[in-house]
Structure 1
Amino acid sequence: MSGGAIQENWLLQDQTFSLVLRKNAESGVAVSSDRKQEYLLLERLYQCGIKVPQVLYFEKASSLLNSDFFIMKKIEGVTEGHKLVRISDQEKRKKIIQDIGHQLALIHAIQSDQALETLFEKPNTEHYLKRKLDAFIEQLDCLQRSRPVLEYAIQWMKKNQPKVDDLVLVHGDFRTGNIMIEDDYVSGILDWEFTEWGDRREDIAWFTAKCWRFGQDQNVAGGIGSYKDFMTAYAEKSEIYIPEFEMKFWHVLAHVRWTIIAMQQSNRNDDMQKPSLELALTEFMVPRLEKNILDLLGEKE
């Protein structure tokens, strides 16, 4: 199946059923979870009423697939960002963005329990951001790239760290492209391999960052709708409304993170771990992402 830039998704279909097999790609990104971890998470999320595919079966690496894999039910809808951001019906876009806000609030409302903390150890809130920013520096060192804009942005974030909210379960890649839409509602939320305990503003910033608007920059919320409609819907379920002017730090963090991932993806091709034109071309995103970072840092507080 199309998509699955880091993992592989295979459609299993005949006249009676439609299933999806999800397995490891030949190479991956270090911060991505393994398939058993993702399987157990999806099982727990489904029990909580979150709109995720129902998982059916997990198996350790087999000789046939040479990878851990799991099978889940196929859900219907559209994920392609370039299609969703071009929906012409304004009222339909508003309904979609409101449902996306509702769904994210429900994810963030999931209470910590032993099962979830076994999957994802809950970090210390006080040192949470420092560890995240230090990890960015380590990742840049591993990439052996000289990227002054990224290094400057990381230093800026170190000097401008906001107070971290209570840590919640964050999707980690909550964006247009990983949210399946059928008609005017969310039919499924995909790709949970970056899930962790974090600040809710990370998911909000990732979804509203310029790099995930697919060219529709006037629609801050995922290229589909307005930030106000998105956050108002989020607040209806969570009673928390985060104004847009508080998001500067988190948008910088989102762009730095995506820039590093883009270079890691390109490395997978360069090292011939996974020869792919799509992966190779991710390197060409880096200058534009750095321009976005500079634009953000140049804005007045």
Structure 2
Amino acid sequence: MGEGTPHDLERGLARALGRAGLPAPDGLTRLTGGATMESWRFTAAGEACVLRRAPSQDFMAERPFGHTVEAEIVRTAHRAGVRAPEVLANLEPADGIGSGYVMRALPGTADPRVILEGNTPLTLLGDAARDLARIHAIAPADLPPGIPEIDYPAAIADLRERYRAAGGARPMIALGLRWLADNCPEPVAPVLNHGDFRLGNLLADSGRLSGVLDWELAHFGDPHEDLAFGCMAVWRFSRVDRPALGLGSVEEYVAAYEQESGRKVDPARLRFWLIYRTVWWALGCLHNAAVWRSGEDRMLERVVISRRTSEQELDLLLLLEDEAPEAERDRTVPPREDRERPEGEASAGEIATAIAEWLETIKPAMQGHDRFQHAVARNALGMIARGERTDGDAENAPLAASLLHGEMSLATPGLLAQLRRTALDKLAADVPKYPMLARARAKWTGEH
């Protein structure tokens, strides 16, 4: 839970609620999810509420703004007709329970699996386009100071520095960084961006949008960035056939947004931000390994999320390959070269498989967060076992440097085919159930 005891949390929360004219909390329960930020559900005067908090100011150290600014952004969005929560109270230092704010709970679910099972996806897509248009229409003068504005070249330079800090040896990320530098658009009049507008942060109730959550990445920037973020392959979840939020086509999303906002969407700008955000998330995944190694956060999820970098590398290649010459796009992908099964004593992969099989026998005894960690552990062991059976090498510093500096490109004979092979093999080892893997395999090799 962080600093303090459950009693301390209840007492500090009661002080904050008292300032809003509400009684002490009842039934305080921590919600699942959130590696750094915590969410707690409770009732006050018979009404469901949620506390969003960081246990201490250390958790907020690298964030561009604190919870006071975040809460005011949410309040402003709520007043503007966005399905944002109603903020009831801010935590204060004297409350002694960290940084955060209290919201009135909203109905619905944020679970993408449940949402995507609904039978009104285009209705929900239209609702999302409406709320995104309302976010972008909020006047800067109505918002608190301290919200950052994205500088396009500086943002690309920051990605490049993060790439260097992560080892600078990933050819597909280098390819994306080079493309971003060569295709950076001129700035447009900035609008408020939610910054994380996608399934997982949207609540749905009875097939309609009921909430827009998680505003910590809000900033001023190009409205196309918010649109593009929800169209990333990773946020489609199981519905890779629906590129916009997993709910519909990009054309349907854009048409609904244009009607609501009165803005004209530029396909070239949308493509730029789609590639930018794919590189951004690839580096975000990689960074999780660095956080774990530093000892700052030794949660098992960190090391597993770091291996999801291969999802974004494959997605990047699917986005960029159309710019390769036709002869390179048509070139046959080299066959996969499996390593021979070892003789003698058990290999590391076999040991990992044996442990995973044993973990499955104790699954019935697991509950709550332990059961979730059990699943993460089995996924990690599967990565080890599968990774031992492939020659796919995602790290190649000389090739990455050549791509980053423009000395090689997708026009280089045979390079695209080899990158495709590497992307397929690495993702098959890391996240074999990633939906875009099957699509890429069918497209590049004809396998189903």
TM-score between the two structures when normalised by the length of structure 2: 0.60
Shift, 1:231, TM fit: 1.4
Do residues 43 (structure 1) and 75 (structure 2) align? Answer: yes
CA distance in 2, matches of 1:223, 1:185: 15
3-state SS of paired residue (2:276): helix
Q: What CA distance in whole angstroms lies between the structure 1 residues aligned with 2:80 and 2:147? A: 17
Quick check: 12-21 or 174-183, which moved more? 12-21
Match of 2:246 in 1: 223
1:1-301 to 2 correspondences below 5 Å = 1-13=31-43, 16-24=46-54, 27=59, 30-31=62-63, 33-61=65-93, 64-65=96-97, 67-87=98-118, 89=119, 92-113=120-141, 116=143, 118-122=145-149, 128-144=151-167, 146-242=169-265, 244=267, 247-300=270-323
Alignment partner of 1:131: what SS?
A: helix
The structure-2 alpha-carbon separation of the partners of 1:15 and 1:31, relative to structure 1 and needing over 3 Å to count, comes to closer
Shift of 1:55: 0.8
Distance in 1, matches of 2:186 and 2:36, equals: 32
> Are the aligned partners of 1:179 and 1:186 in contact in 2 as well (CA < 8 Å)?
yes
Deviation, structure 1 residue 122: 4.4
Q: After TM superposition, give the deviation of residue 162 of structure 1 in Å.
A: 2.2
CA-to-partner distance for each residue in 1:14-43, whole Å, 9 max, x for gaps?
681211111126757935642222112112
Q: Contact 2:129/2:256 (CA < 8 Å) preserved in 1?
A: yes
Q: Is the 8 A contact 1:28 1:268 kept in 2?
A: no
SS of match in other structure, 2:181: helix
Q: Do the aligned residues in 1 keep the contact of 2:193 with 2:220 (CA within 8 Å)?
A: yes
Asked if structure 2 preserves the Cα contact closer than 8 Å seen for 1:170 and 1:197, the reply is yes
**Which has the higher mean CA deviation after the structures are superposed, 19-28 or 247-256?**
19-28
1:148-204 CA distances to partner (integer Å, 9 max, x unpaired)?
A: 322331121111112332211000011111011111221110000000001011111
Structure-2 change in CA distance of 1:138 and 1:24 (3 Å): farther
Is the contact made by 1:227 and 1:244 (CA closer than 8 Å) also made in structure 2?
A: no
Unaligned 5+ segments in structure 2 are 1-30, 325-448
Give identity over the alignment, percent. 24
Q: Is the 2:224–2:269 Cα contact (8 Å) retained in structure 1? A: no
* Whole-angstrom distance in 1 between the partners of 2:199 and 2:189: 25
Q: Does 1 or 2 have the higher relative contact order (CA < 8 Å, sep 6+)?
A: 1
Q: 1:246 to 1:299 in 2, by over 3 A?
A: farther
The residue type paired with residue 69 of structure 1 is G
CA distance in 1, matches of 2:149, 2:285: 27
Larger radius of gyration: 2
CA deviations over 1:62-97 (Å, ceiling 9, x no partner): 5753x212111111111111222232x2xx111011
Unaligned ranges ≥5, structure 1: none
Q: Secondary structure at the match of 1:118?
A: coil
Paired with 1:145 and 1:234, the residues of 2 have a C-alpha distance of: 38
* Code of the aligned partner of 1:41: I
Change (3 A) 1:16 1:266: farther
Output one character per residue of 1:219-260: Cα deviation in whole Å (capped at 9) or x when no partner: 011112222221111111112242656532221101011112
Matched-pair contact (CA < 8 Å) for 2:93–2:99: yes
Evaluate the alpha carbon distance shift between residue 29 and residue 141 of structure 1 in structure 2; reply closer, same or farther with a 3 A threshold. farther
Q: Tell me the SS of whatever aligns to 1:197.
A: strand
Distance, in Å, in 2 between the alignment partners of 1:130 and 1:189 is: 29
Normalising by structure 1, what TM-score?
0.88
Q: Which amino acid aligns with 2:287?
A: Q
RMSD of Structure 2 on Structure 1 (CA): 2.4
Mapped to 2, the partners of 1:154 and 1:117 lie a distance apart of 33
Letter in 2 for 1:75: L
Structure 1 residues 45 and 206: CA distance shift in structure 2, 3 A: same
- Give me the whole-angstrom Cα distance separating, in 1, the residues matched to 2:61 and 2:175: 24
